Structure 1
Amino acid sequence: MRIVALLILVLPAVLATYGIKLMRDAFFGELTTIFLHIVVQFIIGLGLFIGGLYFIGGFILHRDRKRQLIKGGKNNRYSN
């Protein structure tokens, strides 16, 4: 089960990394051949980055809520 969870998290992380690369290349003016314009490349890179970050953050938030580890609960790691 842990392997499946790891694979589910690896794919969005790879896409987010590729999004960062696309944004960096667009910022420095290097156009990838599949895109027609640098602005399109930057927007798609930004979308990939935000989408990957959103998925990973949602996964961690869902896991913490499931285990009752979110701030404000009775039994969590933040209470004194």
Structure 2
Amino acid sequence: MIRLIAFIVLLIPGLIAAWGIKLMRDTLFGILYSPIPFGWLQFLVGFIMMAAGIGFFAGFLLRRDRRKGRVQERFKQK
């Protein structure tokens, strides 16, 4: 059960990051979605979504590896 919860916790930010990448790609091809009026704004929203999703995923993995002692000295907390 715990593995399923961890999978869901990682799936949601992964989907958000994928949607952000899709928004940025669609902006480059000139496809705008109705709630966002400008291309640059759509690209910015996509970039923020991608960065937040990848950042959450990376932070989750770093925290897990710190607890298990699998990180280098420079990543260990003081």
Does the TM-score normalized on the shorter chain lie above 0.5? yes
> Could you tell me which residue of structure 2 aligns to residue 39 of structure 1?
40
> Could you tell me which residue of structure 2 aligns to residue 11 of structure 1?
12
RMSD: 1.2
> Could you tell me which residue of structure 2 aligns to residue 49 of structure 1?
50
Greater RCO, 1 or 2 (C-alpha within 8 Å, sep 6+): 2
> Could you tell me which residue of structure 1 aligns to residue 28 of structure 2?
27
Moved >3 Å (runs of 4+)? none
Q: Structure 1 residue 69 and structure 2 residue 70: aligned?
A: yes
Select between 48-57 and 26-35 the one with higher mean Cα deviation.
26-35
Return the index of the structure with the highest Cα Rg.
1
Q: Deviations 1:3-60 (Å, cap 9, x if unpaired)?
A: 1100000000000000000000011111011111111100000000000000000000
What is the aligned-residue identity percentage?
Answer: 36
Q: Where do 5+ consecutive residues of structure 2 fail to align?
A: 74-78
Select between 31-40 and 51-60 the one with higher mean Cα deviation.
31-40
User: Given the two structures, how large is their TM-score scaled by the length of structure 1?
Assistant: 0.87
Structure number having the greater helix percentage: 2
Shift of 1:2: 0.7
Q: Tell me how many residue pairs correspond in the alignment.
A: 73
Alpha-carbon distance in structure 2 between the residues aligned to 1:37 and 1:31: 7
